Chain A
Amino acid sequence: MPESGPAPLVYRGLPLDEIEDLLPQSSAYRQAGRILFTESVSATVRPLTPLHAGHVGLLACSGLLNGIFGSGDQRHISCWQAVKVTDKTEEEEDGVVTIREKERFSNELTLVYSTGGGAILK
């Protein structure tokens, strides 16, 4: 019998080294990242024209104006947040209880003062 050469070993599975490098760009991770990392929204640009009250209100409610404000005892950190609220109502008619749930979004402002005071405004 003639002597054979060394057996060639070939890996035909997933190229894990390449995959590992590409995974951070995966669209699945990009979508899940909104839950896992929740990147913050911020706007650090100067508007072209002065903002009127309506603009400021919209920006504040969306959390773009969160930060540190005031001086002295009134120095505080503010944080606006959109909150999902579920309103539940129950109606009883002819012995049948009907439960209705309505989901809506509301805004909530949380304040913490440098003196230790705080408030949640809904």
Chain B
Amino acid sequence: MKNAHERFGVLEYTKRMKDTTTRIRLRLDRFIGEVEEGGNGKAHLISVLGGDSDVGAIWAAVIEQNLLTVEAPGFDPLTASLGEDAQCYRGTITIAGRKPIRHLVAISAELAKTRPGADPQGRQTILCDNDPTFVLYRISQRFGLPVVPEWAGWFNEELNRRGAIKPLIGLGCSPLLVSGTKKLFLKWIRRALRQKRIEVPNRNGPVGWNLANSFFRVSETGLEEESGQEAGKESSAIRAECGDTTSCESH
């Protein structure tokens, strides 16, 4: 896919010591963040690329809960940290004829708690995509809710009607914050079944989820378009699609 520089953001970290100031700028491909009450920024996911030492420095900054500045298309520059107990995952991208490129994904503790069974009493769930089927799938996976994909539209309507959904700042994805506990969602489901707004399908057996991995949808779309369209047209279409996305990182 062409024109990746138009979709990538920049993550900047400035470390001031007694007599030296170190400034590190890395390319950012995904980001999820939010502006908390009081104007403080909170990052939930960052994904950065760069050299070994630069990525190592960002990893240390994440561990030390230092502030990082994010600049990306679609939103104003944001200064945020990942907070306590962030999780980091490191990888390497190898391109022939070049030094290996290090990749760091850091995830905040709040986002890490959305893994299945990790925090059953949780009240908020951060999701990296706003597709209704994905939202229902992830909520059901997190809390162990008995649901079927056919209920995705109803569940999305219910979340919007009750104001339980809040869009987050995103680069490369369309993140959401869903508020609600397992008991609350179960209550909604039972009431909707009683009112016949949803029904259990007439087939016995396992529940299958047909989920497209939309986190990387921009890239896939680009590859499809690349074969049939001019590069210029393609880049503008992609920019329109990924207008307000964020990237995230984990430690």
Residue ranges of A at the interface with B (Cβ–Cβ < 8 Å): 14-24, 26-32, 34-38, 40, 42, 44, 65-70, 75-84, 105, 108, 110-118, 120
Contact = CB atoms under 8 A, between A and B. Distances in A.
Interface in B201-251: 201, 203-209, 211, 213, 215-216, 219, 223, 248, 250
Given A17-B1, A20-B219, A68-B207, A28 B91 contact: yes
Given A16-B27, A23-B103, A36-B215, A111 B1 contact: no
Contacts of B7: 20
A26 B91 contact: yes
Contacts of B128: 36-37
Given A15-B95, A37-B138, 11 more contacts: A23-B93, A26-B103, A28-B91, A32-B45, A35-B111, A35-B114, A37-B213, A38-B138, A70-B204, A105-B117, A118-B190
A3 to B, nearest CB: 33
B245 to A, nearest CB: 13
Contact of B200 (A37, A38, A75): A75
A77 to B, nearest CB: 4
A76 B207 CA distance: 12
Contact of A18 (B90, B95, B114, B117): B95
A19 B93 contact: yes
Given A17-B4, A28-B103, A36-B215, A22 B146 contact: no
B60 interface: no
A68 B203 contact: yes
Given A29-B105, A66-B206, A110 B115 contact: no
16 contacts: A14-B27, A19-B93, A20-B1, A21-B219, A27-B92, A29-B103, A42-B208, A67-B204, A77-B148, A78-B146, A81-B117, A83-B117, A110-B146, A111-B146, A116-B190, A116-B194
